[in-house]
Amino acid sequence: MLALKKKREAEKKKAEEEAKAAVAAPSVSAPSESTEEGGGQVSLFGIGGQKKTKKGESSATKKTPGEIRIQKDIGELDGGKVAEVTFPKPNDLTSFNVSITPDTGYWKGARYEFEFKVPAHYPHSPPKVECKTSIYHPNIDLQGKVCLNILREDWRPVLDINAVIYGLIYLFYEPNPDDPLNHEAADLFRKDIQSFERLVNRTLRGGTLDGVTFERLV
């Protein structure tokens, strides 16, 4: 019994000395552990180690509330067969492209590329949207600027990226000549819809209009 007691005291003393040595040497970090979220590095001693993080995230790249909101929005995207979202830089959710191919209307079958830039203070400010494909449209000018009310005065933080994509799709189905960017196209749409349709078809086949060269889309 005495020998067993001495042995346990010796083991206890050795364990205490090892613990003191570990605390005194902060440059030695504990092996990495997987957190509940997985993948983050954890220091068991709280000295010289990394803060507990979510998967794929370090303390140096902690997400802002805006980035967290964007991530949520992206996870809920649903443009159906009409819209497709792509990320040129997979690690950057604030910059992405949306391709819209209307399945009805004047621009049916043509594919239009839109570039989205999400500001740092999103969702308190709307994303910036630019049409990268030349189009003859009352609400999109020949420089690619887009006139959509929820991108301006009607934006609210409760709105999301999906709402903007749906709004863009709706512009192809129901152009709004009463709130135009391309005033010539809007005037023609109001006064002579058949001539408007002919000009749209002409631009879809390629060619030049008002000094702008249009890509052949159909």
Identify the band that residue 81 occupies on the pLDDT scale cut at 50, 70 and 90.
Answer: confident
Q: How far apart are CA 147 and CA 88, in angstroms?
A: 25
Lowest mean pLDDT among 23-32, 82-91, 176-185: 23-32
Contact in structure between 121 and 130 (CB atoms under 8 Å):
no
Exposure pattern of 43-65 as b/e (b: 16+ CB <10 Å)?
A: beeeeebeeebeeeeeeeeeeee
pLDDT tens per residue across span 163-174? 999 999 999 999
Summarize the confidence of residues 112-118 as an average pLDDT.
97
Q: What percent of the chain has pLDDT over 70?
A: 71
Strands of the sheet with 83-86, listed across from one edge: 83-86, 95-100, 112-117, 128-131
Residue with tokens 């997400």: 63
Q: Residue 216 has which token pair?
A: 């052949």
Identify the band that residue 9 occupies on the pLDDT scale cut at 50, 70 and 90.
Answer: low
Residue 75 per-residue DSSP state: H
Residue-range domains of the chain with CATH: 65-212 (3.10.110.10)
Summarize the confidence of residues 138-152 as an average pLDDT.
96
In one letter, which amino acid is 183? Answer: H
131 is catalytic: no
Q: How far apart are CA 189 and CA 107, in angstroms?
A: 14
In one letter, which amino acid is 173? Answer: Y
Q: How far apart are CA 52 and CA 58, in angstroms?
A: 8
Query: What does pTM read for this prediction?
Result: 0.70
Cα R_g (the chain), whole angstroms: 29
Helix (H, G, I), strand (E, B) or coil at 212: strand
Please identify which of the residues 70, 110, 146, 147 carries the catalytic annotation: 147
pLDDT, mean over the chain: 78
Q: What is the reported pLDDT for 78?
A: 74
Q: What is the reported pLDDT for 66?
A: 73
Task: Tell which wins on pLDDT, 175 or 42.
Answer: 175
